[in-house]
Amino acid sequence: MKKYLVLFVTFLLLIGLSGCQKKPKDDIYIFFTSDVHCGVDENVTFPALKALVDDTKAEHENVLLVDCGDYIQGGNIGALSRGEMIVELMNDMGYDLATYGNHEFDYGMERLSELTKMMKFQTIASNVKYSGNKENIFKDVPEYVIKDFDGVKVAFLGLLTPNTIVSSTPKFFMEDNKFVYDFYSGNDGMEMANKVQSIVDEVRKQGADYVVAISHLGTNTEKEGVYNSISLISHTSGIDVVLDGHSHAMIVGDVYPNKDGKDVLLSSVGTKLEAVGELIISKEGEISTVHFNEYSRSDETIQKSIDNVKDELDVILSEVIGETAFDLTVTDEEGIRMVRTRETNLGDFVADAFREVLGTDVAVINGGAVRKTVKEGKITFGDLLNITPFFNKGCVYKVTGQMILDALEYCSKETEAIYKLDGKAVGEFGAFLQVSGLKYTINTSIPSAVTVDEKGMFNGFSSDARRVSDVMVLENGEYVPIDPEKEYTLGSADYLVENAGDGNTAFKNSEKIDDPGIYDSNVTEMFLKKNPQVADHYKVPEGRITVK
């Protein structure tokens, strides 16, 4: 018998299912994870999950392990191996199915194609559209998979968030500067809903008794807009369960009506293995979900694999590069990610590293690329990699003052007078710029005139109103007003400037004048090695960004 401790349990019986659908001879158990983000030895842990799944398989034949996306990125084990070590561990775990999260694209399309070929588990991508003339990396990835459990057919869909294009690297989805990949993002979410409906209808015609969506759409209506799982449920029929990811929400089992008024079960398990989900389709045809937050046994083989990987990485990551007498922060004391809404001392430090190491007039780095606080004490290479884990290249560009002004305006479009309310972030935007060699003011009382296209890419202004003012450039040790017509050298990451990261197209006509072949973590490493004791002036933000 399985021995486990249950975090939350819900038995939400979907009335009416058992009357029209086949009942399995034995319960069907579908374990699911989401947004693991390389946290294989955190919270529940992979070894405990492996033991839980294996113990269930010892008692039951109908057992699957699936993932809802965002597994290869988010920690050193992913960054240093560009996803390969995570894929190998997932293979060892015996995953059966997975879909793609937006962070699966962080190492580029070519690398994702390589990783997909390494995967021993089946990936599913239901809402990918390709219009290019080169190689579609999803050409061998099915839109759905139907599993047969003793004559009972369960169909699985894999749903990718259309916001992937902006939240990952937009250029990855282009050929010859034109978008060739799309996730059925048109018509205010209805294009995706219609596409999903057509697949649901198809699998039902093929005899699917149950339809399960493995989703990376999220439930945050504010951030994901019409592309969230709740909206999808309301505009489709025939889906029984949505196993969701992307929002890092902890949802044991909520029920939402589909477009026909029938109940659909939705469950989500947070991030970093905070919980593992179990979807159960019982012999009686009833559907329920369970969350586990720990398990009493661990698989020794998986634990040994993780230990071996960590030993390899520790040699690299434990090298001491410098030291700080105070915390360099991403968040405030409540954990709110201020780096995406306000200047922080770590933002200043990283931006200064780009400006000094690359030798430029100014430097900018998007707040979403600055990921983790560095605590007081010694700073290792692992710490630096945790700050900027995406392996974006540091490059030098020639830009105009007007490009800088437009970029600041776009990246401040979500900023509000307050950055938190009732313990939740307000005005968070990954594109928010941390700067070096620049000072500016954001007047939040002025509505943003920024306009974006249907993919969320910056495409201009609706009026001449500007909320960013008093933009100054550091020249010869003094701040002077920026000249819109003047050319400046800009140090930044290729993700932001030439790949239009976070939808920022303000620098699309810039000229790259130097590519030293170093990654963002190398930039901060070189900066710190030159100044191994973090200077006291970084103790608090220097007043480069004023929000009023």
In this structure, what CATH number is given to the domain that contains residue 525? 3.90.780.10
| 370 and 304 within one domain | no
Using an 8 Å Cβ cutoff, are 7 and 267 in contact?
Answer: no
The encoded tokens of residue 322 equal: 């410098």
Tell me, yes or no, whether 343 and 282 share the same domain. no
C-alpha angle 48-49-50 in degrees, rounded to nearest 5:
90
Average pLDDT over every residue of 20-49: 91
Range of the domain at 444: 318-547
End position of a domain, from candidates 284, 311, 338: 311
Please say which residue of 258, 279, 311 terminates a domain.
Answer: 311
Say if residue 445 is in the same domain as residue 416: yes
Phi/psi region, residue 547 (left: phi>0; alpha: psi -120 to 50; beta: rest), is beta
- Its pTM stands at 0.71
Backbone angles phi, psi at 85, to 5 degrees: -65, -35
Asked if the model's pLDDT at residue 548 lies above 50, the reply is yes
Look at the chain and report how many structural domains it folds into. 2
Mean pLDDT over residues 137-147, rounded? 97
Point out the domain boundary residue: 287, 311, 335: 311
**For the chain, what percent of residues have pLDDT higher than 90?**
83
pLDDT at residue 126 greater than cutoff 60: yes
Query: How many of the other CB atoms lie within 10 Å of CB of 131?
Result: 11
Q: In whole angstroms, what is the distance from residue 64 CA to residue 57 CA?
A: 9
The answer, yes or no, to whether residue 124 has pLDDT greater than 70, is yes
Instruction: State the CB neighbour count (10 A cutoff) for residue 4.
Output: 20
Compute and round to an integer the Cα radius of gyration of the chain. 24
Reading the block at residue 460, the tokens are 């201009």
Residue ranges of E strands in 274-360: 276-281, 287-295, 320-324
Name the DSSP letter for residue 366.
Answer: E
Check which CATH number belongs to the domain holding 109 and give it. Answer: 3.60.21.10
Same domain, yes or no: 35 and 102:
yes
Q: What is the pLDDT of residue 75?
A: 82
In this prediction, residue 23 has a pLDDT band, given cuts at 50, 70 and 90, of confident
Contact 376, 327 (CB under 8 A): yes
Task: Provide the pLDDT for residue 389.
Answer: 86
Do 444 and 387 share a structural domain? Answer: yes
Q: Are residues 324 and 403 in the same domain?
A: yes
The predicted model gives 395-413 an average pLDDT of: 97
User: Tell me, what's the pLDDT at 9?
Assistant: 43
Nearest CA-CA partner of 348 in 177, 481, 539: 539
Whether residues 176 and 297 share a domain: the answer is: yes
Residue 221 to residues 187, 232, 459, 501, Cα–Cα distance (Å): 16, 11, 23, 22
pLDDT value at position 223?
Answer: 65
Residue 242: name the closest of 36, 119, 69, 419 by CA. 69
Q: Any idea how long the chain is?
A: 548
Same domain, 414 and 478: yes
| pLDDT tens per residue, range 346-370 | 999 999 999 999 999 999 999 999 9
On whether both 286 and 367 belong to a single domain, the answer is no
Q: What's the pLDDT tens digit per position in 269-299?
A: 999 999 999 999 998 889 999 999 999 999 9
Could you count the other beta carbons within 10 Å of the beta carbon of residue 506? 23
- Note the pLDDT of residue 167: 76
Average per-residue pLDDT in the chain? Answer: 92
Averaged over 313-333, what is the pLDDT?
Answer: 94
Residues 209 and 156 placed together within one structural domain of the fold:
yes
pLDDT at 81 over 80: yes
